[in-house]
Structure 1
Amino acid sequence: MSGENACFELVLAYCEAILSGEIKASQKLKWAVKRFLNDLEEIRTNPNSPYYFDEREVEDFFYWAQEFEHVEGVLAGQKVDLVPFQLFIAANIFGFKKKSNNARKFRKVYIQLARKNAKSQFLAIMASYITFLGDEKQRAYIAGWQKEQSDEVYTAVRDGIMSSELLHGRWKESYGQIKIAKNSSVIVPLSRETRKTGDGKNPSVGIVDEYHAHKTSEIYDVLESGMVARKEPLMVVITTAGFDLASPCFVEYQYVSRILDPDDDVENDDYFIVICELDEGDDIKDESNWIKANPIVATYPEGLESLRSGLKVALDVPEKMRGFLTKNMNIWVDMKIDGYMSAKKWRECKIDAFDITGRDVYIGIDLSKKIDLTSAGFIFPYENGYHVQQHSFMPEESLAARKNSDKVPYDLWIKEGWLETTPGAVVDYTFVEKWILDFVEKYNLKPIMLCYDPYEATQFVQSMQNNYGYTIVEIRQGFPTLSEPTKEFREEVYKQRITHLGDKVLSWAVGNAIEDIDANENIKLSKKKSIERIDPIAAVLNAFVQARFVSVVSSSNNVGFISMR
């Protein structure tokens, strides 16, 4: 490559090839290309634009990358020569700058690629470029959920700079981190086990690797909160797709997808995004589509052969398909192994409002252990199906410990009204009883039945029956009682005959639920297999055992006792 603007011209040629269809690309990559070109046009035509584009910086990054060698694969031992796709990313991150202080325009980056598309190598080049060439002391933290993930990128950085003759003697490794002699900058691997290392230590670069594997956003939040004093901080998320649609990564994916979408009103000029994925409706067997998720792997024979092999295994062994779709085709897949229900189907049942005043209601109870989550489910039959709500309870004294152990925002859910604490160290069932009675009175509800899991519920249900006249129904927790209602409830969701208000606690529980299946294909939810809590959906299903018979069951409130077996 020669010529002062050669890299910039290469990027423009790449953009033209994407938009013309010469290079097949995902819709979101096309949007990213259009965004880049629109930003350039704005700079060119508007003298009042707060930004400018530094072509020389893009050249510098390209030549910096050539100081590195490939350390594995078919190109091992050869100098790194950035491909146009990588140069496009670099041009966005490093090319756009602020006129006011020459700092980078973009403070956040989200890159979603299929595996083996040189993600770690690119991060290594980027982290070393900033730390070695920065005028001030830079702190780059590489953060995976597990230490092994952090170490993978860190190792790529170390191996890369070890291969560079130019950098020989200009850095050293000690105590598991790289230290640069020129400016005392550091590159440090960080995981959730050591996340406090980055807290308050003024990181300038935060690299969150494989964000889809992060159970919470705590590492991301720690890094971002420590950057407030930096002139040009850079938070980078780089990941493949995943299958946990309740994860912070999927939430971020939805947000950045809206930023890219030109028809969406969401804007964020500080955020650069590249998402390479198969589009909805694409045939995974059509090899021409693979480049959409694999802008590097799908351009050379060995890469294509690897994808062919992966697809064959996935087609032969269905259990492998989820991994192929997420890791190789970069598609977010709601396909939890033995998962009870599609989270997408559940979300599609959300409505904004439902007037429950004066309605018949079936109440389900899952009292669980007194130190855990206790839930009450409510099903309101109506002409088009069933409206579902829940309310859960947790001991006040265990809130902090449960928030820490379960890694979910119980405190936020309390503020939003889906959950509340009961006084003391265990759930006070009299508190639950009073809440239900107050709820029924507030909305003038007509309780048809109170359906309960018999575990630890004797005193509670006897009080509701003897003191308040509720018809109580024991719901045995075995396959004979639960299989048909559990299947039918899912079918009603898929038919969109179930509605809910987007209750985050209930949606979380639905996503957690794992099936237990017997030899006759009967199913029920398994609290043993479901690692996370499922009490809210269990309570709803207890109510549904009886609510599904609404067309044949009398709505009389006569006191009675029914034992379902």
Structure 2
Amino acid sequence: MARRGSAAPGDPTTAWAEAAVRGDFVVGDLVRYAAERHLRDLRDLRDYHWRPELAQRAIDFFPSVFTITDGPAAGKPFHLLPYHVFIVGSLMGWVTPEARWRFRSGYVETGKGQAKSPMMGGLGLYVMGWCGFPRAPVYAIGGDKNTANVLFKDAAAMCRAQVPGYEDGDTLETEGHVVLRGEGDNVWKIEHPTSQSFFLPLANGLNQSGPRPRLVLADEIHEFRSAAQLVTWRRAITKVAGSAMLLMGSNTPATSQLVGTEYSETYQAIAKGLKKDETAFAFVARVDKRDRDTVLTNEACWGKSLPAIGITYPVANIREEVITALTKPSEAASIKRLYFGIPTGAVDFWIAEDRWAAVQQVLTPEDLKALQGCPCWLSLDLSKKNDLTALTATWRDGDGVLWQKTWYWTVAERLDERASADNAPYPEWVELGWLTATPGTTIDYTFVAAQVAELDATYDVVELVFDPAKMADFETACEQNGFSVWRYEGPNKPAGDGLKLVSHAQGPLVKFDDRQYCMPKSIERFEDRILQETIVIDASPITYWCAGNAEIREDGLKNRCFDKKKSRGRIDGLVTCAMGAGAADNTELKGDRYEGSYFVDIDAADDDGDVVDDDEADA
């Protein structure tokens, strides 16, 4: 066994970690944390053992069996890149006292083009046939057919490439070490007859029935629409008594890529030591926050996110991308994310995303308790059938700062199917409490009415502003719950009992003045609050997702609204946030023209911005 705290001869994994910590080559903070963790574990960890000979065996396997199949080095032995050595060595060299792999999961994130997929494909073949496991299933999974096959095709190509040191034309396939099912690019399974093991890609989100996997390789995590597959495989792995692992690879995800962002943030926390999980390995290669402003001109930091730069990834390649970023600002954000690990949101985020992110904060029970006694406005966007229903509470504190929290509902029926269609992890949100799934085929508005009643009883609610669509159904639900509400119909109409409901027009194609609630005014007030950082928005992943999906539509008079037809997904939570801010920042008019709220005394606009009358909207 290697000496604790020191790299023994023949231990390139630990040698790489020591060099990274010394600063012999450039690494980002997150990679340095991973290296420091390895060295600290050598010194302090007692529940797991470092076996450098096992790490070395896996490292040596690659150039002994594989040749590079693509690029300028094609045909040469596949020597792992230096950062590969650390990853493969760590995964294969750390074991339990029973000699089982220590790491049950691993996450590798780098910039684009850093040869993650060939490394993962080669590791899959190693585990399938050369680790001594009988009947070892290895799976490649992805968010769709193409991503599931990325690393599997690399593995298949290596099986048909020249074996180093063998006679010309000798491959793993021709020598009978493996059997490939399928011809050309249509290989769909790799088998290892001696061990009766196999390597199989599973496309389109499919799970193998009753799997007992030895290794699951999940590539392109940033492209996953739902974490359901990953959760299922992780549970399958925990059932395996021996060595088993879920290894994930990714480029830096956009903030609107919710699954990738969640996994990346989790493994960053593990690398930093903020989250303790001795069975999880994290390698996250990004430029540091201090590099972000100058990343396009500071070549010295590029190796932090591109650990293969200058080895298999030519510097000229990234210089070409940088020139594109400098000359085409519209592509700069994407290039910064894909190559330098700077997370950005959806294309054309409806407002400057850094300003949006600056006002996100998780509201604690203590925060909500402190808002009791502050005026509160509720805003409601009801779904038509089984989409999202959103309810936002907006408080204004004594300093004039707005605070917002949003509740969401959907139906439980066909939740997984709709999650795939909407590119949203609905089941995970339900499990984590961000989303409530009601029984039945349509949303039961009595759940929503109950939440409104609870807020009305707890806080100083001024009124509830609403999108007219489906509002009559909500009023019926309130009646069923025994909760009194009344619809405001203008300053000359009598007030009712209970909570006041005020209509809020949605589209820009309406006539309005400063007395009316309408989306152009509400968006303007909401934007001002965000840009001035005088609003705090509860950091819900659903609200962030809605914001990343939004598109703005503008008419000839510069009136703007959110365009649901052109948006990239659901935006209901963003709509209610804007409505709430618009209501809370309503400037009171003097005299009998103002009765505590703006009244839309014109035809309302439906979800698509088309003018309809109230009865049609409610229908």
TM-score w.r.t. structure 1 length? 0.86
User: 2:99 aligns to what?
Assistant: 102
User: 1:280 aligns to what?
Assistant: 289
Matched, 1:452 2:458: no
Matched, 1:192 2:208: no
Match for residue 231 of structure 2 among 209, 213, 221: 221
Q: In structure 2, what residue type is equivalent to 1:170?
A: H
User: 1:83 aligns to what?
Assistant: 81
Alpha-carbon separation, structure 1, partners of 2:58 and 2:432: 47
Summarize the Cα distance change of 1:32–1:493 in structure 2 as closer, same or farther, 3 Å threshold: same
Alpha-carbon separation, structure 2, partners of 1:396 and 1:335: 27
Query: Does the 8 A contact of 1:341 with 1:510 survive in 2?
Result: no
- Paired residue total: 548
Query: Does the 8 A contact of 2:404 with 2:536 survive in 1?
Result: yes
Q: Which moved more, 1:307-316 or 1:368-377?
A: 368-377
Summarize the Cα distance change of 1:274–1:347 in structure 2 as closer, same or farther, 3 Å threshold: farther
Summarize the Cα distance change of 1:201–1:7 in structure 2 as closer, same or farther, 3 Å threshold: farther
Alpha-carbon separation, structure 2, partners of 1:562 and 1:78: 73
What do the CA deviations read for 1:292-326 (whole angstroms, capped 9, x no partner)?
111112446x6110000011112212222232112
Match for residue 201 of structure 1 among 197, 211, 236: 211
User: 1:117 aligns to what?
Assistant: 114
| Structure 1 position 532, deviation (Å) | 2.2
Summarize the Cα distance change of 1:370–1:55 in structure 2 as closer, same or farther, 3 Å threshold: closer
Match for residue 478 of structure 1 among 508, 519, 522: 508
Gap regions ≥5 residues in structure 1: 44-48
Summarize the Cα distance change of 1:483–1:312 in structure 2 as closer, same or farther, 3 Å threshold: farther
What do the CA deviations read for 1:237-296 (whole angstroms, capped 9, x no partner)?
11110213551221121121122214x3x2111111111111002121211111111111
What do the CA deviations read for 1:414-464 (whole angstroms, capped 9, x no partner)?
67766556675444667755653x2354225342x4433333446868953
Match for residue 464 of structure 1 among 487, 492, 515: 487
Match for residue 181 of structure 2 among 174, 184, 205: 174
| Structure 1 position 112, deviation (Å) | 0.6
What do the CA deviations read for 1:3-25 (whole angstroms, capped 9, x no partner)?
xx998354444334322323011
Matched, 1:506 2:543: yes
SS in structure 1 at match of 2:56:
helix
Q: In structure 1, what residue type is equivalent to 2:221?
A: Y
Matched, 1:386 2:402: yes
| Structure 1 position 34, deviation (Å) | 1.1
Summarize the Cα distance change of 1:403–1:563 in structure 2 as closer, same or farther, 3 Å threshold: same
Match for residue 279 of structure 2 among 267, 270, 273: 270
Matches within 5 A, 1:302-341: 303-340=314-351
User: 2:454 aligns to what?
Assistant: 439
Alpha-carbon separation, structure 1, partners of 2:404 and 2:260: 28
Alpha-carbon separation, structure 1, partners of 2:80 and 2:506: 63
User: 1:527 aligns to what?
Assistant: 564
Q: In structure 1, what residue type is equivalent to 2:94?
A: F
Alpha-carbon separation, structure 1, partners of 2:10 and 2:589: 72
User: 2:387 aligns to what?
Assistant: 372
User: 1:46 aligns to what?
Assistant: none
Superposed CA RMSD in Å reads 3.3
What do the CA deviations read for 1:447-486 (whole angstroms, capped 9, x no partner)?
2x44333334468689534753726244242177433431
What do the CA deviations read for 1:355-386 (whole angstroms, capped 9, x no partner)?
34344333323234144333333322223321
Alpha-carbon separation, structure 1, partners of 2:304 and 2:447: 55
Alpha-carbon separation, structure 1, partners of 2:323 and 2:72: 22
Q: Which moved more, 1:367-376 or 1:551-560?
A: 551-560
User: 1:255 aligns to what?
Assistant: 266
| Structure 1 position 518, deviation (Å) | 5.3
Query: Does the 8 A contact of 1:105 with 1:270 survive in 2?
Result: yes
Summarize the Cα distance change of 1:69–1:296 in structure 2 as closer, same or farther, 3 Å threshold: same
Match for residue 563 of structure 1 among 578, 601, 614: 601
Summarize the Cα distance change of 1:458–1:224 in structure 2 as closer, same or farther, 3 Å threshold: closer
Q: Which moved more, 1:105-114 or 1:328-337?
A: 328-337
Alpha-carbon separation, structure 1, partners of 2:248 and 2:118: 14
Gap regions ≥5 residues in structure 2: 1-6, 164-169, 183-187, 476-484, 489-494, 511-517, 604-619
Alpha-carbon separation, structure 1, partners of 2:340 and 2:280: 24
Matches within 5 A, 1:341-356: 342=353, 345=357, 348-352=360-364, 353-355=367-369, 356=371
Identity of aligned residues (%): 19
Q: Which moved more, 1:316-325 or 1:160-169?
A: 160-169
What do the CA deviations read for 1:182-233 (whole angstroms, capped 9, x no partner)?
111111111234x12x241211101110101101112212222222124010
Summarize the Cα distance change of 1:218–1:259 in structure 2 as closer, same or farther, 3 Å threshold: same
Summarize the Cα distance change of 1:327–1:80 in structure 2 as closer, same or farther, 3 Å threshold: same
Query: Does the 8 A contact of 2:148 with 2:203 survive in 1?
Result: yes
Query: Does the 8 A contact of 1:7 with 1:59 survive in 2?
Result: no
User: 1:65 aligns to what?
Assistant: 62
SS in structure 2 at match of 1:516:
strand
SS in structure 1 at match of 2:454:
helix
Alpha-carbon separation, structure 1, partners of 2:507 and 2:92: 59
Q: Which moved more, 1:457-466 or 1:231-240?
A: 457-466
Alpha-carbon separation, structure 2, partners of 1:431 and 1:188: 45
User: 2:607 aligns to what?
Assistant: none
Alpha-carbon separation, structure 2, partners of 1:243 and 1:498: 24
Alpha-carbon separation, structure 2, partners of 1:477 and 1:15: 58
Summarize the Cα distance change of 1:347–1:69 in structure 2 as closer, same or farther, 3 Å threshold: farther
Alpha-carbon separation, structure 2, partners of 1:237 and 1:440: 42
Query: Does the 8 A contact of 1:345 with 1:494 survive in 2?
Result: no
Alpha-carbon separation, structure 2, partners of 1:110 and 1:430: 43
